[in-house]
């Protein structure tokens, strides 16, 4: 695992980078250095299955660095989550997608996070305050990624269910 990050690797931050930053900065740091245990995670596979079987008439919007679940008329971003609890991480991902589209000249109106398992939605505002928050979060992610050393691990109880737990807590 490399401890040096190429500047080109940092330029294309996607939603996963924002989610990992807010879940655990160490997870983001490890992910950017090629450690990817989530590919073997049952919870990740479950989330992908929920995404693939819910709202099936919608099409992803692939921006290269990020894949948005779908965008409706009027530039409203939609993200589907398999979680049973709304999370600030999910809203931050949607704000990040709003920022990416706004940088491409799209007049974004906001977003919606869908939680099909609990039949709930959460609206995500897109205004000057949300834009500033998205830019600040993006800056924090870049700082974590550029750091030569891994951020400290979280309390063990916060690591339950994380696919990185073995790396962080073994030995």
Any idea which of 6-20, 95-109, 140-154 has the lowest mean pLDDT?
A: 6-20
120 DSSP β-pair partners: 115
Tell me what pLDDT residue 138 has: 96
Q: Report the distance separating Cα 63 and Cα 16, nearest Å.
A: 13
Identify whether the C-beta of residue 2 lies closer than 8 Å to the C-beta of residue 29.
no
Measured in whole angstroms, how far is the alpha carbon of residue 83 from the centre of its chain? 13
Res 121 pLDDT > 90:
yes
Taking only the tens place, the pLDDT of each residue in 25-78 is 999 999 999 988 766 545 555 555 555 655 555 677 888 888 898 999 889 999
* 161 or 63, which is more confident: 63
**Structural domains in the chain?**
7-169 (3.90.320)
Q: Which residues of 72-87 are buried (b: 16+ CB within 10 A; e: fewer)?
A: eeebbbbbbbbeeeeb
* 52 or 17, which is more confident: 17
pTM for the model: 0.81
User: Residue 82 phi/psi, 5° resolution?
Assistant: -85, -5
> What's the pLDDT band for 19 if we cut at 50, 70, 90?
very high
User: Residue 36 phi/psi, 5° resolution?
Assistant: -130, 65
Percent of the chain clearing pLDDT 70 (strictly above): 81
DSSP letters spanning the chain: --S---HHHHH---HHHHHHHHH-HHHHHHHHTT--GGGG-HHHHHHHHHHHHSSTT---EE-SS-EESEEETTTEEEEE---SS--HHHHHHHHHHHHHHHHTT----EEEEEETTTTEEEEEE-SHHHHHHHHHHHHHHHHHHH-SSPPPPPPGGGGTT-TTHHHHH--
Tell me what pLDDT residue 171 has: 61
Tell me what pLDDT residue 48 has: 54
């Amino acid at each position: 695992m490399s401890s040096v990050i190429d500047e080109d690797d940092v330029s294309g931050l996607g939603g996963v980078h924002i989610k990992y930053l807010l879940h655990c900065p160490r997870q983001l740091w490890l992910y950017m250095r090629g450690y990817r245990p989530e590919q073997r995670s049952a919870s990740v596979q479950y989330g992908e299955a929920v995404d693939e079987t819910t709202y099936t008439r919608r099409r992803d919007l692939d921006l290269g660095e990020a894949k948005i679940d779908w965008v409706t008329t009027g530039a409203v971003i939609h993200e589907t989550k398999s979680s049973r609890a709304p999370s600030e991480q999910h809203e931050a991902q949607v704000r990040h997608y709003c920022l990416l589209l706004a940088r491409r000249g799209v007049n974004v109106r906001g977003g919606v996070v869908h939680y099909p398992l609990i039949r709930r939605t959460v609206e995500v505002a897109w205004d000057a305050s949300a834009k500033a928050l998205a830019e600040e979060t993006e800056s924090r992610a870049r700082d974590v990624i550029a750091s030569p050393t891994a951020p400290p691990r979280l309390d063990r109880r916060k690591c339950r269910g994380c696919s990185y737990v073995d790396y962080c807590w073994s030995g």
